[in-house]
Amino acid sequence: MVRGALERSWRPVLVFVLGLLIVVVSSPTAGGAQQSQQVERLTIATEADKGNLTPYSFRPPPGIHSELVGLVYDTLFLHPYTEEPIPWLATEASANADATVWTVTLRDDVTWHDGEEFTAEDVAFTYDYYRDGPPNRYTHHASEVPVVESAEALDATTVEFTCEQPCPTLDLVTLADLPILPQHIWEDVEDPQTYTDLPVGTGPYRLAEYVEDQSYLFEANEDYFLGPPAVGEIEMPIVPDPSSMFLALQNGQVDTATRPVPPELQESLGEARDVELVEGKRFASIFYRFNAESPPLDQQEFRRALDMAVDRQALVDTVLLGNGRAGSPSFMHPDSRWFEPQDAAFDPEQAGAILDEAGITDSDGDGSREYEGEPVSLSIIVSANDPLQIRTAELVAQQLGEVGIELVPESLDPGTLSQRQNALDFELSSFQGVPHLIGDPTQMIESLESLLVYSNPEYEGLREEWFQSTSVEQQGETMREIQRLFVEDPPALTLYYPDTTYAYNSSAYDGWIPVEGHGIHHKWSFIPEAPELLGIETVAQRTAPPEEETGGRTILYALVVAGAVVLLVLGFFLLRRRSARGSDEDQI
Partner 1 sequence: MGRVGATILLLFVVAAIFAPILAPHDPALRTAQPFAAPSFAHPLGANDVGQDILSELIFASRLSLTVGFVTACLATVLGAAVGIVGGYLRGAVDTVLMRGVDVILSLPFLPLMIVLAAFLGQNTTNLILVIGLLIWARPARLIRSQVLSVRESGHVQAARAMGATHGYIMVRHVLPRVTPLVAAQFVRTANVSIMLEASLAFLGLSDPFQKSWGAILFYANARSAFLTDAWLWWVLPPGLCIAAVVVSFAFLGYALEERVDPRLRSTLPTKEPLRDTRTPTPVREDALR
Partner 2 sequence: MPRPSGAAWRRGGGRVAQYALVLLVAVSLNFAIPRLAPGTPIDYLVPSEQVATITPEQRERVLAQFGLEKPLLEQYRLYLTGILRGDLGISAQQGRPVVDMLLERLPWTLVLVGGAITLSTVIGGGAGFLSAARRGGRTEAWGLALFMFLDSMPPFWIGLLLLVFFSGYLDLLPVFGALPTSGAADGFGLTLEFAQRLVLPLATLTMVRAGWLFLVARSSLAGELSEDYILMAEAKGLSRRQVVLGHGIRNALLPLVTAVAVEVGTVVGGATVVETVFSYPGLGRLIYESVLSRDYAVLQGAFLLLAVGVILANLLADLLYPIIDPRVRAESAR
Q: Which residues bind partner 1 (CB under 8 A)?
A: 242-243, 246-247, 250, 262, 264-265, 268-269, 318-319, 321, 384-385, 387-388, 390-391, 394-395, 409-413, 415-416
The SS3 of residue 557 is helix
Binding range to partner 2, per CB under 8 A, among 1-9, 368-376, 448-456, 465-473: 448-456
Q: Per CB under 8 A, does 200 bind partner 2? A: no
Is residue 399 within 8 A of residue 310, CB to CB? The reply is yes
Q: Per CB under 8 A, does 43 bind partner 2? A: yes
Which entry of partner 2, partner 1, none binds 394, CB below 5 to 8 A by partner kind? partner 1
Name the nearest CA neighbour of 444 among 169, 171, 179: 169
Q: Per CB under 8 A, does 274 bind partner 2? A: no
Compare residues 420 and 542 and give the one whose CB is closer to partner 2. 420
Q: Per CB under 8 A, does 195 bind partner 2? A: yes
At a CB cut-off of 8 Å and minimum separation 6, what does 390 contact?
382, 384, 409, 411
Among 86, 198, 217, 397, binds partner 2 (CB under 8 A): 217
Which entry of partner 1, partner 2, none binds 390, CB below 5 to 8 A by partner kind? partner 1
| Stretch 122-151: interaction string toward partner 2, x if CB under 8 A | ------------xxxx-xx--xx-------
Is residue 469 within 8 A of residue 168, CB to CB? The reply is yes
**What distance in Å separates the CA atoms of residue 7 and residue 15, rounded to the nearest whole number?**
13
The SS3 of residue 503 is strand
Which entry of partner 1, partner 2, none binds 242, CB below 5 to 8 A by partner kind? partner 1
Which entry of partner 1, partner 2, none binds 31, CB below 5 to 8 A by partner kind? none
**What distance in Å separates the CA atoms of residue 382 and residue 397, rounded to the nearest whole number?**
13
Q: Quick one: 558 exposed, middle or buried, by C-beta within 10 A (0-12, 13-18, 19+)?
A: exposed
Q: How many residues comprise the chain?
A: 588
Binding range to partner 2, per CB under 8 A, among 73-81, 172-180, 416-424, 483-491: 416-424
Compare residues 334 and 414 and give the one whose CB is closer to partner 2. 414
User: Which one-letter amino acid corresponds to residue 430?
Assistant: S
DSSP 175-232: HHHPPPPPHHHHTT-S-GGG--SPP--SSSEEEEEEETTTEEEEEE-TT-TT---SEE
Nearest distance from residue 271's CB to partner 1, in Å? 11
Paired sense of beta strands 374-375 and 370-371, if any:
antiparallel
Nearest distance from residue 234's CB to partner 2, in Å? 10
Helix, strand and coil content of the chain, in percent to the nearest 5, comes to 40, 20, 40
Which entry of partner 2, partner 1, none binds 196, CB below 5 to 8 A by partner kind? partner 2
Compare residues 181 and 382 and give the one whose CB is closer to partner 1. 382
Which entry of partner 1, partner 2, none binds 214, CB below 5 to 8 A by partner kind? partner 2
**What distance in Å separates the CA atoms of residue 397 and residue 387, rounded to the nearest whole number?**
15
Q: Per CB under 8 A, does 410 bind partner 2? A: no
Nearest distance from residue 224's CB to partner 2, in Å? 21
**What distance in Å separates the CA atoms of residue 53 and residue 175, rounded to the nearest whole number?**
19
Which entry of partner 1, partner 2, none binds 239, CB below 5 to 8 A by partner kind? partner 2
Task: Tell me the angle at which helices 387-401 and 300-309 cross, rounded to the nearest 10 degrees.
Answer: 110
Which entry of partner 1, partner 2, none binds 321, CB below 5 to 8 A by partner kind? partner 1
Q: Per CB under 8 A, does 447 bind partner 2? A: yes
Name the nearest CA neighbour of 342 among 241, 142, 232, 480: 480
Is residue 517 within 8 A of residue 439, CB to CB? The reply is yes
Compare residues 155 and 241 and give the one whose CB is closer to partner 2. 241
Which entry of partner 1, partner 2, none binds 451, CB below 5 to 8 A by partner kind? partner 2
Which entry of partner 2, partner 1, none binds 40, CB below 5 to 8 A by partner kind? none
Q: Per CB under 8 A, does 177 bind partner 2? A: no
Is residue 41 within 8 A of residue 233, CB to CB? The reply is yes
Among 7, 212, 357, 529, binds partner 2 (CB under 8 A): 212
Q: Per CB under 8 A, does 415 bind partner 2? A: yes
**How are strands ordered across the β-sheet holding 492-498?**
324-326, 492-498, 285-290, 428-433, 377-383, 406-412
Compare residues 247 and 574 and give the one whose CB is closer to partner 2. 247
Beta bridge partners of 218: 207, 234
Distances in whole angstroms, Cα of residue 517 to Cα of each of 90, 192, 239, 280, 553? 21, 27, 23, 8, 38
Nearest distance from residue 280's CB to partner 1, in Å? 18
**What distance in Å separates the CA atoms of residue 160 and residue 121, rounded to the nearest whole number?**
11
Nearest distance from residue 249's CB to partner 1, in Å? 10
**What distance in Å separates the CA atoms of residue 279 and residue 257, rounded to the nearest whole number?**
13
- Residue 172 half-sphere exposure, CB side, CA atoms within 13 Å? 20
Q: Per CB under 8 A, does 188 bind partner 2? A: no
Compare residues 398 and 583 and give the one whose CB is closer to partner 1. 398
Among 37, 94, 419, 543, binds partner 2 (CB under 8 A): 419
DSSP 266-331: HHHHHHSTTEEEEE-----EEEEEE-TTSTTTTSHHHHHHHHHH--HHHHHHHHSTT-EEE--TT-
Which entry of partner 2, partner 1, none binds 318, CB below 5 to 8 A by partner kind? partner 1
Show contacts with partner 2 in window 219-258 (CB under 8 A): 233, 235-241, 243-245, 247-248, 250-251, 253
Provide the binding-site residues for partner 2, judged by CB under 8 A. 41, 43, 45, 49, 51, 58-60, 134-137, 139-140, 143-144, 191, 193-196, 211-215, 217, 233, 235-241, 243-245, 247-248, 250-251, 253, 413-416, 418-422, 431, 434, 436-437, 443, 446-447, 449-451, 453
